[in-house]
Structure 1
Amino acid sequence: MSAPTVRDPGRLDPADTAAVLALLRAAAAADGVRPLSEEAELRLQHGGPHGGQDVVATTEDGVLTGYARLELGAPGSADDAEAELVVAPEARGRGVGAALLTRLEELAAGRPLRVWAHGDLPAATALATARAYTRARVLLQMRRPLTDDDLDPRPALPDDVHVSAFRPGRDDEAWLRVNARAFATHPEQGAWTPEDLHLREAEPWFDPAGFLLAWRGDPDAGGTLLGSHWTKVHPPGDAGPDAVGEVYVLGVDPTAQGLGLGRALTDLGLAHLRGRGLEEVLLYVEEDNAAAVRLYEGRGFGRHAVDVSWRRVP
């Protein structure tokens, strides 16, 4: 097989986008892990902020063999460039990953580059270490069954706090404000914009009934949002052979810490997912967030998979 052809055409046309999505499904089936983050898939399909770039690898006759998504950020940004890449299962071991990574390094133009390896697979580790990348971040995927009897569908809440479902178009601003405060130190989650929220509200999986908000007072009469638990349901084939629930975003405003809302919202969300007939739930958490890892381990979650951000300084 000749060397792969790598190109970065800007935004992909609909046919190329469909081909990439099919490649992602094939890679997920082969590896047992999604090859790209949800954010990268959304930007593949809908575009994203300035500085985003799609990169594809093909054979001489145009057959798609790999895909990468690069984010450079705003013009003049000194932040690291970030990327994700995937190689078609049938094209592995033929230099496609190395060719994509070389082009990503060229596009980063001398800036440090971070590349996510979902599942921490041996081939990704070998490629990264051979190119002098080092592990910069580790994201744990944790899972637990929903069939146990330890889930409390009616956990104790402070007397002046009640939980209700998210109302699109009415609760957006309050949720974005608390999300930014709860994840102020998180490099991605805390920077969500109204567009980020609305993109997810338009996704087929979005269900406001599983998006639980904890309020003090009437939300329409000056009430205060204290925290939330946004759940998600992955369809069969997305995170496993069967449908799987997710603790998608769980956050408590810093001013409401110590009220037990994190555990109460966790239990309410898990009970909601169990009520949907699901048997398993997953979540993602930074490995170095010891407090959150302890919280989830205390609620029966165990480590299931690992995503690694590899970083190289040219």
Structure 2
Amino acid sequence: MRCLEIKREMHDRDIAEVTSLLDAAERADGRRPLSDHLYLDLVSGGADGFAGLLAWEPGHEHPVAYAQVSQGNDSHIFELVVHPHHRYDMATIGPELLDAALDVVRSAGGGAVNWWVYEPTTAHRTLADDAGMHQDRTLYQMRRSLPTERHATIETRPFVPGADDEAWLSVNNRAFADHAEQGGWTLDVFRTRQQESWFDSDGFRMYERDGRLAGFCWTKVHHEGHDPSASDHASDLGEIYVIAVDPDFHGHGLGSEMTLAGLDHLASHGIDNALLYVDAANGGAVAMYRRLGFDVHSTNAAFVTEVENRPGPVPERLGAC
């Protein structure tokens, strides 16, 4: 019989066990599970609204699945990872974890829940439907090879930590005022990102016009199984991590120029392929990226529901722990 532990705080051993599961899923799937927001919440031990759910089975020293609830800007965010060796049990593991996660949200006052799924299958859609969730958003991952045929015609400079934080935060939050994940950042959230091992201020390109920050292109490099300091980066993937133009400077073609500036930077460091994420409903952005040579590589879907408020304690353990 499976045992489910529900943790509001993650200690070093918990983090190590979950990280090992994430590593196994990454080796099997070729991509890292958990979004940056959820992963940082995990490794920090869990912020307000956090719950980590670990599923165990007798005879296994590792968790067979992990789910997490974290608080987003205007909703609870849920993600689910099943160990590759136990995915044949997805039809039972999935509902157990999802039901427990929704109970956690109910006990915390209820509200909107977003479950992000990479390349959703029939099993995911069935699980979502059974839980009363519907697909609300679709996110494309788009890719292209480098270098590009066109190059940026604007001059950008690297981000300067400390000196540029406030200006960046203002532009980011203005540009993403209606965006659930990227809007509403705080300086603490931003500075936490700057502490990540992948952060590179030189790959964070800033463009100023009329004495103001007009746009930025923040890039990120995914090192594919080798030393990040190695000179050969051909197998790495460069990501346009966050890109925006201040609303006051819309209509001047800066979206394309900032994208090209980021791609030029990645190509100059020997990276042969780039990716980015864009909401499928944002037709203008999708069309712009297609004009710049990007094609859809994969799809993420957000399944959503509204959970009622049901105060009351949630057990720390379910099943025979």
* SS of 1:92 mapped into structure 2: helix
For the residues of structure 1 that align with 2:8 and 2:28, how far apart are their CA atoms? 28
Work out whether 1:271 is the aligned partner of 2:264: yes
- Are 1:29 and 1:237, in contact at CA under 8 Å, matched by a contact in 2? no
Structure 1, residues 47-93: CA drift from partner, whole Å, max 9, x if none? Answer: 4542122121112355311111112469xxxx543211111111123
Shift of the 225–69 alpha-carbon distance from structure 1 to 2, 3 Å rule, reads same
CA RMSD after TM alignment: 2.1
Counterpart of 2:229? none
The answer to whether the 8 Å contact 1:52/1:73 transfers is no
- Of 278, 286, 308 in structure 2, the residue corresponding to residue 285 of structure 1 is 278
Among 23, 31, 34, which residue is 1:33 paired with? 31
- Amino acid paired to 2:77: E
Please give the secondary structure, in 1, of the residue aligned with 2:196: coil
**What are structure 2's unaligned runs of at least 5 residues?**
227-233, 308-321
**Percent pairwise identity:** 38
Q: CA deviation at 1:248?
A: 0.7
Cα distance in 2 for residues equivalent to 1:211 and 1:51:
31
Partner of 1:16: 14
Q: Is the 8 A contact 2:10 2:45 kept in 1?
A: no
Indicate which of 158, 175, 186 corresponds to 1:193. Answer: 186
Shift of 1:168: 0.4
Q: Which residue of 2 aligns with 1:5?
A: 3
CA 1:42/1:8 → structure 2, altered by over 3 Å: closer, same or farther?
same
Q: How does 1:91-170 map to 2 (within 5 A)?
A: 91-94=86-89, 95-109=92-106, 110-148=110-148, 150-152=149-151, 155-157=152-154, 162-170=155-163
TM-score by length of 1: 0.87
- Partner amino acid, structure 2, of 1:52: F
1:90 is matched with which residue? 85
CA distance in 1, matches of 2:72, 2:292: 37
CA distance in 1, matches of 2:225, 2:144: 18
Deviation of 1:19 after TM superposition, in Å, equals 1.6
1:75-114 CA distances to partner (integer Å, 9 max, x unpaired)? xxxx543211111111123222221111011112154432
What is residue 63 of structure 1 aligned with on the other side?
Answer: 62
Aligned length: 294
Q: Structure 1 unaligned segments of length 5 or more: list them.
A: 218-222
* Contact in 2 for aligned 1:80/1:111 (Cα 8 Å): yes
Aligned residue type for 1:275? S
SS at match of 2:64: strand
Does residue 1:254 correspond to 2:262, yes or no? Answer: no
Q: Under a length normalisation based on structure 2, what TM-score does the superposition of the two structures give?
A: 0.85
Find the residue that maps to 1:178 and give its secondary structure. helix
* Larger relative contact order, structure 1 or 2 (CA cutoff 8 Å, min sep 6): 2
User: C-alpha distance in 1, partners of 2:62/2:46?
Assistant: 26
The answer on whether the counterparts of 2:206 and 2:215 sit within 8 Å (CA) in structure 1 is yes
Rounded to whole Å, the distance in 2 between the matches of 1:9 and 1:205 is: 28
What CA distance in whole angstroms lies between the structure 2 residues aligned with 1:280 and 1:114? Answer: 30
Work out the CA distance in 2 between the residues paired with 1:272 and 1:189. Answer: 23
